[in-house]
A and B are shown apart, each in its own frame.
Chain A
Amino acid sequence: MRTGFFGNIGFGCGRDGAQRAPRRPSARRAVFGLALLAVPLALGGCHSPNMRVRRAVTLYYMGDYPQAQQTLAPEISRKNKNFVLNNCRYGSCAIAAGNLRDAQLAFYNAYEVMNSVHTNTVGRTLGAAVVYEGIKVWKGQPYERAMAHYYLGLIYLIKNHFNDARAAFANSLFRLRAYGRSRRDARAGHRYGWIDSNFTLGYFGLGLCYQELGRHALARANFRRAEQLNPALAPAVQMMRRRGANTVIFVDYGMGPRPAPHGWYGEKSAFVPTVAEAGPVPPVAAYADGRLLPASGYDAAVDTLALAQDKRWDSMDTLRETKAVIGTGLVAGGLGTAMIAGDRNDGEVGLIGLGAAALGMALTASSRVDVRYWEMLPRAVMVVPAALTPGPHTIQVAMAGSACQPFTVRVRRRGLTVLYVRLLP
């Protein structure tokens, strides 16, 4: 009697099933079924942003920052895997709404966890490695971490708490990975090393802080480094250092990068749009009392699209790629084995082949990139310094068909007046 190996699996699809007495569904089977059901649930159910977050993002890009902040408020105290991400989102809404207190608290929460280690429990770490990366506690891509520290520094700058701002900017300048340039480097084991950050905003912010703290040598060194990394910042730096600017306007423009995984199973991380796709950042025009400020019109201090494309700012794909390769091998090998076993009528080997193929499928499915990202990040940050007389001034900022409402600000007699403007595309 020929019995295919499918008959041996025991789900009543073999010929012998008719001869056997009907089985009672056992508790073990029920648990097994539930476990099987839990896998896709665990894979798919946990990573999509909830409705509240989606609504907040929509409100944010409609320019209703206070409402977006209010919508996200219930999310920021939940210490779940999106704790840092939700606090970053909330901070973006709060700073754009002019609510510095809430923004500071949110970015401070993010700062504390971002600078922690062993943040994930053992189960979660294992789950992230075996099942799906998206279940780990989100700490962001390196450029997102740098931007979170920058916002915290900016809030302290606005409040003229220069020492705290200095600490925040210093934390945005963590070391980055530098890949070996040649195959010889790779063969010699110098696949990558660590290099100093090229996050221009961090150096510029540090320069501002040190200047206000009266540590002029350090201010000069940081401004010089910012200029070296981004020559477009030179006029702003000159204005800050030599022409006695007492006001700085930080302008956020556009939408930042979003993840677009590629590879067979989406295991390789990539971000879109690229700088070439999005085009150059338009020049900024800032007006004080109707007069164009002389430092307007320069290039961006930071372009997050460029940072996201830079390999030095990328996270490691190694684990995911390894899982994808092993998974593909297991699927191919397992199915091949199963087919050969089917021809030879070898149920046991066939079952092993099918098991291997199933494991391979699970591995490939779990090699997907974590697609959570900070939706509110701008495409570019522009810096416009100005020397204004102390007292009230009407400020307006415009970029490529987008402009903020004119607003009145009182320029400080002492210290630095720092303004933040968010422009949407």
Chain B
Amino acid sequence: MPEKSTGHGAAGWRPGARGLKRAFAAVVGVLALTGLAGCGPAISAHAHTTFLSARDLLHMTDQMAASLAGSPRLAALTKNGPMVIVLKRVSNQTDEILTRGEEELFVHRVRVLLAQQPLLRRRFRFVLNRKTYYDLLREEQIPAAQLGPRESRVVPQYVLDATFYSDTHVSRKFRSDYYLCAYQLVDIHTGVIVWQNTYETKKSAVSGFLY
């Protein structure tokens, strides 16, 4: 017959001791699990920055394309014929590093959105910038003589460009970036800004309490 637990000095496992053993095992288990957590894949899928994201790219360029398409002033200017526009990549004045590709992406998506709609395609015509155009001619080995008279070539009338600004505050635990992304369409011959719009966003991030 098993000996009943009486408190001090009793042989066998008493309920109190068993509870303690379980608690000790639980602590050791938690320690082991948390320790072993350090050996798996490390960087969390929830890691994020205050940089401009793909979502910003989509929102911003959708907004700009809609604004260009809906502008009454541009509608008046394109009444008699399409605007011939050349693109300039983004001028980055933020504290975020934008690669060359990213700087082009932010204006080229606007072009693609406008070019997708047949009605708008008649109003906005996009041409390559001079450097890309001559690089292309060189690559394809097309001599200038084959291009025909200079007067017959399409000459850009407007330039679409964008400048991104930010107000950044950084400490070890906190970072905030307020972005102002300004797009403009400029008449190359007069320098007049015929259309402009901005996209603003503020992002902040606080590190976790511990790490």
Interface residues of A (CB under 8 A from B): 1-3, 7-10, 14, 16, 19-20, 32, 34-36, 38-39, 41-43, 45-46, 79-81, 83, 108, 111-113, 115-121, 123-137, 142, 152, 156, 163-164, 167-168, 170-171, 173-177, 194, 319, 345-348, 351-352, 355, 358-359, 362
B194 to chain A, nearest CB (A): 26
- Chain B residues in 8 Å Cβ range of A131: 31, 34-35, 38
Q: B residues 1-41 with Cβ under 8 Å of A?
A: 7-14, 16-17, 20-21, 23-25, 27-41
- Chain B residues in 8 Å Cβ range of A20: 11-12
A-B contacts besides A3-B10, A118-B46, A118-B207, 16 pairs, CB < 8 Å: A41-B35, A115-B51, A118-B47, A121-B46, A124-B42, A125-B210, A127-B36, A130-B31, A131-B35, A135-B39, A156-B97, A170-B95, A171-B95, A348-B20, A352-B20, A355-B20
Please measure, in the bound complex, the distance between the C-alpha atom of A19 and the C-alpha atom of B34, giving whole angstroms. 39
- Chain B residues in 8 Å Cβ range of A134: 38
B100 to chain A, nearest CB (A): 8
Does B196 belong to the interface (CB within 8 Å)?
A: no
- Chain A residues in 8 Å Cβ range of B148: none
Whether B11 pairs with A14 at a CB distance below 8 angstroms is: yes
Please measure, in the bound complex, the distance between the C-alpha atom of A152 and the C-alpha atom of B99, giving whole angstroms. 13
- Chain A residues in 8 Å Cβ range of B171: 174-176, 194
Please measure, in the bound complex, the distance between the C-alpha atom of A173 and the C-alpha atom of B20, giving whole angstroms. 52
Whether A80 pairs with B41 at a CB distance below 8 angstroms is: yes
Whether B39 pairs with A42 at a CB distance below 8 angstroms is: yes
- Chain A residues in 8 Å Cβ range of B95: 167, 170-171
Residue of A nearest to B26 (CB): A35
Knowing A116-B48, A119-B43, the reply to whether A125 touches B38 (Cβ < 8 A) is no
Knowing A14-B11, A168-B97, the reply to whether A79 touches B42 (Cβ < 8 A) is yes
Q: B residues 63-95 with Cβ under 8 Å of A?
A: 91-95
Whether B38 pairs with A128 at a CB distance below 8 angstroms is: yes
Does B208 belong to the interface (CB within 8 Å)?
A: yes
A129 to chain B, nearest CB (A): 5
Whether A345 pairs with B9 at a CB distance below 8 angstroms is: yes
Q: Which of A3, A130, A137, A170 contacts B34 (CB 8 A)?
A: A130
Whether B41 pairs with A170 at a CB distance below 8 angstroms is: no
- Chain B residues in 8 Å Cβ range of A35: 25, 28-29, 31-32
Please measure, in the bound complex, the distance between the C-alpha atom of A113 and the C-alpha atom of B51, giving whole angstroms. 12
Q: Which of A2, A8, A42 contacts B14 (CB 8 A)?
A: A8
B112 to chain A, nearest CB (A): 25
B30 to chain A, nearest CB (A): 7
Whether A16 pairs with B11 at a CB distance below 8 angstroms is: yes
Q: Which of A16, A127, A173 contacts B38 (CB 8 A)?
A: A127
Whether A8 pairs with B43 at a CB distance below 8 angstroms is: no
Does B131 belong to the interface (CB within 8 Å)?
A: no
A197 to chain B, nearest CB (A): 9
User: Which 8 A-B residue pairs are closest in the complex by CB-CB distance?
Assistant: A42-B35, A135-B38, A123-B37, A127-B34, A16-B11, A38-B32, A174-B170, A175-B171
Whether A10 pairs with B28 at a CB distance below 8 angstroms is: no
Whether A126 pairs with B48 at a CB distance below 8 angstroms is: no
Q: Which of A83, A130, A348 contacts B43 (CB 8 A)?
A: A83
Whether B211 pairs with A125 at a CB distance below 8 angstroms is: yes
Whether A128 pairs with B211 at a CB distance below 8 angstroms is: yes
Does B55 belong to the interface (CB within 8 Å)?
A: no
- Chain B residues in 8 Å Cβ range of A345: 8-9
Does B189 belong to the interface (CB within 8 Å)?
A: no
Whether A116 pairs with B36 at a CB distance below 8 angstroms is: no
Residue of A nearest to B23 (CB): A355
Whether A118 pairs with B44 at a CB distance below 8 angstroms is: yes
Residue of A nearest to B210 (CB): A129
Whether A8 pairs with B17 at a CB distance below 8 angstroms is: yes
- Chain B residues in 8 Å Cβ range of A170: 95, 168
Does B56 belong to the interface (CB within 8 Å)?
A: no
- Chain B residues in 8 Å Cβ range of A347: 8-9, 17
Whether A142 pairs with B172 at a CB distance below 8 angstroms is: yes
